[in-house]
C-alpha cells in the first residue's frame, strides 16, 4: 500500500502528531482559522459563566487573571480542563451546545448567565435564552477569521470546525479525499461539499486521530 498524504486543517501539538504516526504517511498542517483576542470590559455579578470553547477560556482569563472561583458550564472536555486549571468550579460540561441547552432547560431555568464566546458560533444557546434577556448576556471575547491556503493531492483531511470547512473550501477541492470531522456540526458542514465523511466517536482530537488510524 502506498503512503498517503494527510492534511490537518489545524496545527497539532507534538503529542497529537505522535499519536497520528502512520508509518511513513506524509502529514502537513495549516491553521485555516486564525483567532484574535477581543478586549472586553465586563462586570461580573452572581452569574453562572458559560464558555463555548478553549479559545473563549483563554481569551477571558488573559484579561481576568485574578477571578476567584465561579460556577461555570462549558462545551468540551478540554474546555473543562482549562477552567479547572484556573481553579473554576465546573458544574457540568457537554459534547455540544445542543446538549447544554437540554441541561439548562431541565436544571437551571431562572439563573443568570454570561456566555463567553467568539464571533462565529452556533446559535443554540442564544436561541434558548431569547425570552430571558434579563438573565442572559453574550460577550464576544475573541474573533476568528479565515486563513485559507491552497493544497493539492491529499488523500485525507482532518477538520475541526464548520468554519474551518468553509475556509478550506475557498481554495481547495474535496475530490478523491477522505474527510474526517471532529463532531456532528463539522460533519454537517462537510455534507455541503462531499460524501466522503467520517466522524470521531467523541469530539476530541484524540478520538479523531483514532478514527483515522482505524480506517487507514
Give 15-40 pLDDT, tens digit per residue. 898 888 766 788 999 999 999 999 99
How many other β-carbons are positioned within 10 Å of the β-carbon of residue 196?
15
Rounded to an integer, what distance in angstroms lies between the CA atom of residue 175 and that of residue 155?
A: 9
For position 41, what pLDDT does the model report? 85
Rounded to an integer, what distance in angstroms lies between the CA atom of residue 10 and that of residue 164?
A: 8
Angle at 196 between CA 194 and CA 200, to 5 degrees: 115
Between 171 and 203, residue with greater pLDDT: 171
For position 133, what pLDDT does the model report? 66
Query: Which of helix, strand or coil describes residue 50?
Result: strand
Closest CA relative to residue 56, chosen from 141, 119, 138, 139: 141
Contact between residue 165 and residue 193 where contact means Cβ atoms under 8 Å apart = yes
Counting Cβ atoms within 10 Å, is residue 75 exposed (0-12), middle (13-18) or buried (19+)?
A: buried
For the whole model, what pTM was predicted?
Answer: 0.87
- State percent of the chain over pLDDT 70: 97
Beta strands at 33-37 and 136-146: parallel, antiparallel or unpaired: antiparallel
Counting Cβ atoms within 10 Å, is residue 203 exposed (0-12), middle (13-18) or buried (19+)?
A: buried
Give 134-187 pLDDT, tens digit per residue. 789 999 999 999 999 999 999 999 999 999 999 999 999 999 999 999 999 899
H/E segment holding residue 28: strand 26-29
Read off the pLDDT of each residue in 81-98 and give the average, rounded to a whole number. Answer: 94
**Domains of the chain (ranges plus CATH)?**
5-32+147-215 (3.40.50.10090), 35-144 (3.40.50.10090)
Amino acid at each position: 500500500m502506498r503512503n498517503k498524504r494527510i492534511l490537518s486543517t489545524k496545527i497539532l501539538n507534538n503529542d497529537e502528531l505522535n499519536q497520528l504516526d502512520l508509518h511513513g504517511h506524509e502529514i502537513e498542517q495549516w491553521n485555516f482559522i486564525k483567532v484574535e483576542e477581543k478586549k472586553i470590559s465586563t462586570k461580573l455579578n452572581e452569574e453562572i459563566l458559560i464558555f463555548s470553547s478553549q479559545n473563549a477560556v483563554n481569551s477571558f482569563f488573559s484579561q481576568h487573571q485574578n477571578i476567584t472561583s465561579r460556577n461555570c458550564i462549558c462545551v468540551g472536555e478540554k474546555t473543562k480542563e482549562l477552567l479547572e486549571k484556573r481553579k473554576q468550579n465546573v458544574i457540568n460540561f457537554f459534547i455540544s451546545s445542543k446538549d447544554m441547552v437540554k441541561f439548562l432547560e431541565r436544571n437551571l431555568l431562572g439563573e443568570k448567565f454570561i456566555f463567553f464566546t467568539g464571533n462565529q458560533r452556533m446559535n443554540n444557546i442564544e436561541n434558548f435564552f431569547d425570552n430571558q434577556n434579563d438573565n442572559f448576556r453574550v460577550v464576544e471575547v475573541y474573533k476568528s477569521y479565515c486563513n485559507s491556503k491552497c493544497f493539492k493531492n491529499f488523500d485525507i483531511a482532518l477538520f475541526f470546525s464548520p468554519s474551518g470547512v468553509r475556509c478550506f473550501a475557498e481554495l481547495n477541492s474535496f475530490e478523491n479525499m477522505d474527510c474526517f470531522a471532529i463532531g456532528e456540526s463539522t460533519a454537517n458542514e462537510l455534507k455541503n461539499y462531499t460524501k466522503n465523511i467520517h466522524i470521531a466517536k467523541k469530539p476530541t482530537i484524540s478520538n479523531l486521530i483514532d478514527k483515522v488510524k482505524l480506517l487507514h
